[in-house]
Structure 1
Amino acid sequence: MAVASGERVRQAAVKLFAAKGFHGTGIRELAREARLSSASLYHYMGTKEELLAGIMRDCLGRLLAAAGQAIDGVADPRERMGRLVALHVLTHARQPDETKVVDDEVHALSPRLRRPVVELRDAYERLWADAVDAGLREGVFHTQRPAVTRKALLAMCNGVARWYAPRGPLSLDDLAEHYALLALRALGGERPGTGPDLAVCRAVVAATWRPG
C-alpha cells in the first residue's frame, strides 16, 4: 500500500531529525527523503518547526495515553512503577527515532510551540512522580532523593533508544524486566523474583503504535 505524502513527510522528518538533529536537517534534504519537491513540501508540513512540534505532540500524547492504560487500576506502587519503566523501555526500543526526537529536540522549539509539548511531557512524568510518592507514603520505597532518582531512571530508560538492537543477546522482554528491577532497587523497593506484568505493557505499546 502506498504511503500518503503527508505520512512520508512525517517519516522522513523523524528519520532525519533523529539522525542529524532538527537544525542539521535542511528543507531540500527533507523533501528528497520524502520524495517531494521543496515547493510542495510546505503543503504537507507548514514550517519545519511546526512539523517537529507535531511529531513531538503525537509521540508524547501516545506515550501518555499508553502509560495511563498500563497502570489503570493498579494500586501497588511497585507494580505501577515497574509497568511505567517497562512500557518506557519497550516504547524506546520499538520507536527509537521518534523517542530520540522527543528526548533531544525540545530546545529547538520556540516558546509558543514548546509550551504544549512540555505540558504533555510534564503530565507523563507526573505519572512516575505519583507512583514514587505513593510508594514513599506506603513505606515500600525508601529513597531520600525521589525527584533525582526519578529523573535518573527516566534518563536511563531514554538511553535504550540509542543502543538496543533486536538481534542482540538480550530479548526485549528481558531488558524491560531488568530495567524495572533496577528502578525498584534504586527506589529501595526491590521485590526479588517478581517483575511487572509485561503482557499488559506489550499489548498497550503494540496497540498504541499500530501502523495505520
Structure 2
Amino acid sequence: MSPTGSRVRDAAIELFAERGFHGTGIRDLAERAGLSSATLYHYMGTKEDLLVSIMTTSLGRLLTAGERLTADGDPLARITALVELHVLTHAVRRLETRVVDDEMRSLSPDHRATVVALRDRYEHLWQDAIDTGCATGAFHVRAPRVARLALLEMCGGIARWYTPDGPIPLEQLALRYAEMALGVLGAAGPPPELAVDSVRRTMALVDEIWLPD
C-alpha cells in the first residue's frame, strides 16, 4: 500500500472507531488524511469499500495467525494460544479491532457475507479447540458454543479499556486472560503453569503478520 493509501486507511480506522461508520463523512476522512475529497476517492473507492478493506485485511491476518498457532498442540494449548492472540491484537490494535467488531452492522448484505465468512473461519478455530477438548475430557462445559462466544467477548473487550501505561503489563494480562478462559471451560486437572514466553512468541507472530502496516 502506498504511503497515501496508508494515511487514508489510518484516518478511516480512527474516525470509524471514534464516530462510527455512519457518523463519518467523506469530508471528515479527507480532512483527517490531509487530502482533498476528490483525491480521497482515488485511494478508497466508496466509503463502504474502505470499511470492507479494513475488515477483511484485519480478519485475514487474525485468521492467518490463528491457523499458525493452532496447527499443532492439544486443545488446552490451542485455546491458550488463541486467547493470547485475541488479547494481544485487541490491545495493540485497539481502534482497528473495534471497527471490525462494531461495524459489521454497517455493511450491505453482499459485503457482510464476505466479512462474516472470514470471521466464521477464525471463530471455527476456537470452536474446534473447545469441542475437541470436551470430547477428550480436557474441558468440561455444558454449552461449548456459548463458551466460545463468551470468551471472544471477554478477550475482545480489552480494546475498550487497555492502555500501555496501565498498572499491569500486557504480557501478564494475556496470561491472566488465558487462565480465566481455562476456568470458563472447566479445564481438567490442576491449573497449568502458563509462561510469559508463550505470550512473547505470539506477540512476535503478530508483529510479523501485521508488519506490512
TM beyond 0.5? yes
Matched-pair contact (CA < 8 Å) for 2:130–2:139:
yes
Question: Cα offset for 1:211?
Answer: 4.8
Which of 147, 158, 161 does residue 159 from structure 2 map onto? Answer: 161
Alignment of 1:192-207 (within 5 A): 192-195=191-194, 197-207=198-208
In 2, distance between residues paired with 1:113 and 1:183? 32
Q: Given the alignment, which residue of 80, 83, 91 partners 1:82?
A: 80
In the alignment, the residues of structure 2 paired with residue 175 and residue 59 of structure 1 have an alpha-carbon distance, to the nearest angstrom, of 22
Trace 1:1-212 onto structure 2 (pairs within 5 A): 4-74=3-73, 76-189=74-187, 191-195=190-194, 197-212=198-213
Which segments of 5 or more consecutive residues in structure 2 lack a partner in the other structure? none
Instruction: Indicate the percent of aligned positions where both proteins have the same amino acid.
Output: 54
Q: Determine the C-alpha separation between the residues in 1 that align with 2:139 and 2:165.
A: 35
Deviations 1:92-120 (A, max 9, x none): 00100110000000110001111110000
Task: Structure 1: state its 5+ residue gaps.
Answer: none
| Contact 1:9–1:44 (8 Å) recurs in 2 | yes
Equivalent pair of 2:70/2:125 in contact (CA under 8 Å) = no
With the length of structure 1 as denominator, give the TM-score of the two structures: 0.95
| TM-score under structure 2 length normalisation | 0.95
| Cα distance in 2, alignment partners of residues 94 and 70 from structure 1 | 18
Residue 10 of structure 1 and its aligned partner are, at CA, apart by 0.4
Structure 1: how far apart are the matches of 2:83 and 2:59?
A: 15
- Is the 2:13–2:99 contact (alpha carbons within 8 Å) kept by the matching residues of 1? yes
1:28-79 superposed Cα distances (whole Å, 9 cap, x missing partner): 01000011001111110000001000100000000000111112222x1011
Q: What is the CA–CA distance in structure 1 between the aligned matches of 2:69 and 2:192, rounded to whole Å? A: 21
CA distance in 2, matches of 1:73, 1:152: 24
